[in-house]
Structure 1
Amino acid sequence: MLRTGIRIPLFLLTAVALTACSAATADDAPPRSAATKGAPAKVTVVPPAAGRPVSVTASGGTLARVKVVDEDGTELTGRTGAGGSAWTSDRKAAPGASYTVEVVARGAGGGESTSRASFSTPAADRVNKLSLAPGKNTTVGVAQPLSIVFDRPVANKADVERQLKVTTSNGTEGSWGWLTDYSGKDRVDWRPKDYWKPGTRVTLEATLDGTDSGRAGGWFVRDYRTAFTVDTTARVIRVDLDRKKLSVVRNGRVVTTIPVSGGTPGGDKRSWRGTAVLMAKEGTIRMNSETVGLGDAYDKLVDSSMRLTWSGMYAHAAPWNAAYFGRANKSSGCIGMSDADASALFATVRPGDPFEITGADTKGVVAEGNGYGDWNLSWADWRAKSALR
């Protein structure tokens, strides 16, 4: 939709132009399409501010049909109340948009008249945007939350959350939860009560166009939609740092167990514990210890890299640590394994698979915003993070 910064006064196509702050009255309507019996209804269109619904009223009659469309031809649906004399749009008027209103009204005597009006809303001073995960039409593991990160702050969290509709193919129970992303930005995730059932289809409709973020956040000026599917295989990766082993559980059955080496106990090189969701399969990447606050401890190319947190915890090949696999935790915080085992695991997993990590000597539980740590909260605590609780 093209949004301009020019405010166009509300006017009736068949009447004189009115000021932008005035209501438009359609009593100078074009010739009626049906025989007139008595005086026609008097129609008033109230030009809304951005973020408010469009309203139309009729005095001396009722509204037979109201059609409101923007400059792209997208219709704002609505409903009639007050005995048929008032109509309100379901959606709010967006900032910087132009609308045309066509009204068919029925007078007290039964005759119909048609009138038209148009108006524009001022452009937004600030615009808020968002990014969605997972990507559209992707297939993910059973622990992948639906995650939205906002470009600008969201003060009106309840108003925004009301516009976010999640539909699943099997009626999955879930809830939105607001948190601070590792980047420092506002974020809201939709997490099921339990891991997804394999094969679940998920759709998000974010009808945010015309919604105000509040304060310095700005307006949303478009809607968003995404859909994804949960893998038909339920995979859970269990990492026992005390026993230095990793197990792949497929549909409830352990199919593979491999020796690993986790983060070195007793300091900053310890691993995180809790549930970390596989964020991405990054393959061969350059890892530099300075980027995670560990000085010049390492700088090397690492194969079969699987990202688990934003703070730099991966599962990956670590042939330089071969003497410790299954025997001791001697990594800089990641979960290391042999080239062959890492390659096989890399080929097996997909983003959204949960890594359930246990161990006595770790640096704490993965936080919600550090990757997808949503599962480290109880269901009651997660639901309490909804703005609509």
Structure 2
Amino acid sequence: MRVRPAGVAATAGAVALTVALAGCSGASASEDGRSDDKGKPRTSITVNLRGTQARAGEPVRVTLAAGKLQQVTVTDSKGGKLDGKVAADGRSWTSSRKAAPGTAYAVEARDDAGGTATAQFTTAAPEKVNKLALVPGKNATVGIAQPLSIVFDHEVTNKAEVEGHLKVVTSDNTQGSWGWMEDWSGRSRVDWRPKDYFKPGTRVTLDAELNGVDSGGDGGWFVRDYTTGFTVGRQQVVKVDLDNHRLKLFRDGTQIKDVPMSAGTPGGEKGSWRGTAVLMSKEGTINMRSETVGLGDAYDKMVDSSMRLTWSGMYAHAAPWNAAYFGNANRSSGCVGMSDADAAAVYGEVQVGDPFEITGGDAKGTIALNNGYGAWNLDWAEWQKKSALR
């Protein structure tokens, strides 16, 4: 585990805390039958975590020696609470979430006679902390193909455990599933995509209740929860036909743009990818250099109306230097190039998260799962198999 070893006191197991219950008359007697100096019965609670180096990543369990528990409150040092449930026999209580590392907790128990008992413990600090990045950003409005995507700072090997704490709620009960992969950066990543494209107006919320979850291996602990939410915008699909050299934009099923273009030169690394890409970002005017995508010193240009489609460097953008080929041949270095006016018009209409459905034989292969957001290139059954909970 990635927690400093507990001391001898902490590893001795659960602690029985003998406390005087300020109970009413008739309170249950303690296990040893003793009373305090005022004649009130005395009992004890047992808490499975104790001391200042308690083991994180476990639920808190409180057991009453005699009588029945009515309520247990477990509060952390920041004022947060661990919810839980009293067992049917009234003798024990278990938290629904696990104790987080490096956190002080206060336990208060009340029995059926009105008496109370308290205990405190602190979990060991984590030796390593795992964090994450969420896409899309909070309160964003995105296209119908945008997945929820989480990239972790460190490797996640307890995939099922982590996935079980990722709760997605949609406003229209959209069916979806998580899928694990190695991100283009080499880090652990999990995406949630719906079975079919989202419906416009759908509200999507993620509650990642990860505080106290162990990544497994050498990935470290999560020490906080995360939330995000986004709204699905217009119903738009961009269709790119590599063989006929046309880019068409459809909104609500109606074609609103049809422009000539020239894609990647077929037959080598300069070819374009086929499959469904998701518009990752609208980057405006950027400097594109061929050495960043493994093509030597072929080009170094300032490029307008740049729309990123993959991590490997495939964009749709303005390419006036390639005008002779628009509509009749693919002669770019892999991107979908258009005239200045056409690229600007498309750029103004599309939204991040719109699908670009790229078809045709003039391609070097299908977009990989992790090359941008390639989940749509798997059918639904294949995508579901990427879940750690299937």
| Cα deviation 1:270-294 (Å, max 9, x = unaligned) | 0000000000000000000000000
Aligned residue runs from structure 1 range 20-169, under 5 A: 21-29=12-20, 31-32=22-23, 34-39=24-29, 40=41, 41-47=43-49, 49-106=55-112, 111-169=113-171
Unaligned runs of at least 5 residues, structure 2: 30-40
SS in 2 for 1:61: coil
Contact 1:93 1:210 in 2 (8 A): yes
Aligned twin of 1:341: 342
SS in 2 for 1:297: coil
SS in 2 for 1:158: helix
Name which of 218, 225, 228 aligns with 2:227: 225
| Cα deviation 1:81-114 (Å, max 9, x = unaligned) | 14111110000001111100011023xxxx3311
Q: Distance in 2 between matches of 1:75 and 1:8?
A: 26
SS in 2 for 1:346: helix
How far the C-alpha of 1:80 sits from its partner, in A, is 1.2
SS in 2 for 1:84: coil
How far the C-alpha of 1:49 sits from its partner, in A, is 1.8
Q: Distance in 2 between matches of 1:380 and 1:87?
A: 40
SS in 2 for 1:263: coil
Aligned twin of 1:14: none
Aligned twin of 2:352: 351
Q: Distance in 2 between matches of 1:77 and 1:187?
A: 29
Contact 2:265 2:333 in 1 (8 A): yes
Could you say what the CA RMSD is over the residues aligned between the two structures, in angstroms?
A: 1.7
Give the alignment's TM-score, normalised by structure 2. Answer: 0.92
Q: Distance in 1 between matches of 2:218 and 2:344?
A: 47
How far the C-alpha of 1:203 sits from its partner, in A, is 0.2
| Cα deviation 1:221-243 (Å, max 9, x = unaligned) | 10000000000x20000000100
Name the count of aligned residue pairs.
Answer: 372
Amino acid paired to 2:109: V
Amino acid paired to 2:173: G
SS in 2 for 1:310: coil
Aligned twin of 1:209: 211
How far the C-alpha of 1:21 sits from its partner, in A, is 3.7
Amino acid paired to 1:172: T
Contact 1:318 1:337 in 2 (8 A): yes
Q: Distance in 2 between matches of 1:142 and 1:319?
A: 30
Aligned residue runs from structure 1 range 228-239, under 5 A: 228-231=230-233, 233-239=234-240
Q: Distance in 2 between matches of 1:73 and 1:81?
A: 25
Structure 1 residues 37 and 81, CA gap change in structure 2 (3 angstroms)? closer
Contact 1:42 1:61 in 2 (8 A): no
Q: Distance in 1 between matches of 2:12 and 2:73?
A: 21
Give the alignment's TM-score, normalised by structure 1. Answer: 0.92
Aligned twin of 1:295: 296
SS in 2 for 1:340: helix
Unaligned runs of at least 5 residues, structure 1: 10-17
Q: Percent identity?
A: 60
| Cα deviation 1:223-270 (Å, max 9, x = unaligned) | 000000000x20000000100000001001111100000001111100
How far the C-alpha of 1:19 sits from its partner, in A, is 5.7
Structure 1 residues 278 and 19, CA gap change in structure 2 (3 angstroms)? closer
Moved over 4 A (4+): 4-9
Q: Distance in 1 between matches of 2:287 and 2:354?
A: 23
Q: Is 1:313 the equivalent of 2:314?
A: yes
Aligned twin of 1:245: 246
Q: Distance in 1 between matches of 2:136 and 2:10?
A: 46
Contact 1:24 1:117 in 2 (8 A): no
How far the C-alpha of 1:190 sits from its partner, in A, is 0.3
Q: Distance in 2 between matches of 1:329 and 1:131?
A: 37
Aligned twin of 1:278: 279
